[in-house]
Amino acid sequence: MLAVLVCFSIVLLTGYFGEGGGGFLHSLQAGAQTILSPVEDGASRAFKPVRDLVGWFGDVFNAKDENKKLKKELGAARVQSTNEAMLLRENIQLRGQLKLSEGLGYTNARRETARVIVRSPTVWWSTVTIDKGKSDGIRVDQPVINGDGLVGHVSAATGATATVTLLTDSSSAVSAQLAPDGALGVVKPNVGDPNDMQLLYIGKNHPVTKGAKVVTSGSAPGPLQSIYPRGIPIGEVSRVEPGELDLYRTVHIRPWADFRRMDVLTVLTGKPHLAPATAGGSGP
């Protein structure tokens, strides 16, 4: 049967290609196309919604894949941008700390830079934890600075970490002086406001001008010894008001250090190689 069909097909093909354009087989083909054309058009229109639906699903899946790809690329770009911004900020802080510590006479062997890994969430107890400790030469009562000035001191240390009590802590008290006249006082925090501190025990008749610099006064013999070396910048006078019974003036200070934005800190682990040239700080 198959052989018969093959032979019949060969005969038809031979006759079709052998006859002229107006032959019987050509006429038969044209007639069939005329009859079947409406059927083909109808079938095409009938199946068009199906084809469109299939195409829509394909477009949706392609769009979803593209959307996922774009979101992933956007997320990676954001992470990279954030990391670059953080690295830039840390770099600026490190350069400032290096400049300040060298100006105070501290060499590489007498300072240790550490990253802040934990911040205290309370107002009264203002501390941070750094990722360096006793194994790095850090000990209790060592001064801690950032690129703008004094931020506090080491209050506790383990082998790998240390706690830094900030100047904004309610227990903080720093022997300080006005520069350049040298009037002595004690810097205390205004608890709850890290942008305001007070320089206490300045005599009511002592002239104090807005913008005057305040620095650590350094060690003194006897019971008034300070853990902070002389000349570390603290801040500048923002305003002055009378104290109790008008015996002293309460001097308000705007600290130079930004206690809310500290990523890296420098611990002064040894004595300065050279005494600072002046008692004043440059400030930001």
- What b/e string do you get for 117-134 counting C-beta neighbours within 10 Å, with b at 16 or more? eeebeeeeebbbbbebbe
Contact 241, 252 (CB under 8 A): yes
Tens of pLDDT along the chain (284 residues) come to 656 555 555 555 555 555 555 555 555 555 555 654 565 565 566 656 766 666 776 776 677 777 777 777 666 666 565 556 666 767 777 687 778 888 888 877 788 999 999 988 776 679 999 999 999 999 999 999 998 999 999 999 999 999 999 999 989 999 999 988 888 999 999 888 889 999 998 888 888 889 999 999 986 554 456 789 889 999 999 998 876 566 788 899 999 998 888 889 999 998 876 555 444 444 55
Question: Token pair for residue 170?
Answer: 């309610």
What is the greatest pairwise CA distance in the chain? 130
Tokens of 266: 């420098």
| CA atoms of 187 and 174, how far apart (whole Å) | 5
- Read off the amino acid at residue 272: P
Q: What is the pLDDT of residue 278?
A: 44
Residue closest to 144 by CA, chosen among 113, 169, 168: 113
Task: Classify residue 24 as exposed, middle or buried by CB count within 10 Å of its CB (0-12, 13-18, 19+).
Answer: exposed
pLDDT of residue 261: 84
CA 238 to CA 249: how far, in whole Å? 13
DSSP per-residue string spanning 230-264: TT-EEEEEEEEEE-GGGTEEEEEEEESS-TTS-SE
Q: What is the DSSP letter of 206?
A: S
In DSSP notation, 91-140 reads: HHHHHHHHHHHHHTT--GGGEEEEEEEEE---SSS-EEEES--GGGT--T
- Partners of 266 in the beta sheet? 113, 145
pLDDT of residue 203: 84
Between CA 220 and CA 212 the distance in angstroms is 23
The predicted pLDDT at position 155 comes to 95
Q: Per-residue b/e over 216-232, b at no fewer than 16 CB within 10 Å?
A: bbbeeeeeeebebbbbb
Q: Tokens 């206690």 — which residue?
A: 259
- pLDDT confidence of residue 249: 83
Q: Residue 163 has what pLDDT?
A: 96
pLDDT at site 252: 95
Domain boundaries, the chain: 99-268
Would you call 208 exposed, middle or buried from its count of C-beta atoms within 10 A (0-12, 13-18, 19+)? middle
pTM beyond 0.75, yes or no: no
Report the CATH architecture of 99-268.
Beta Barrel (2.40)
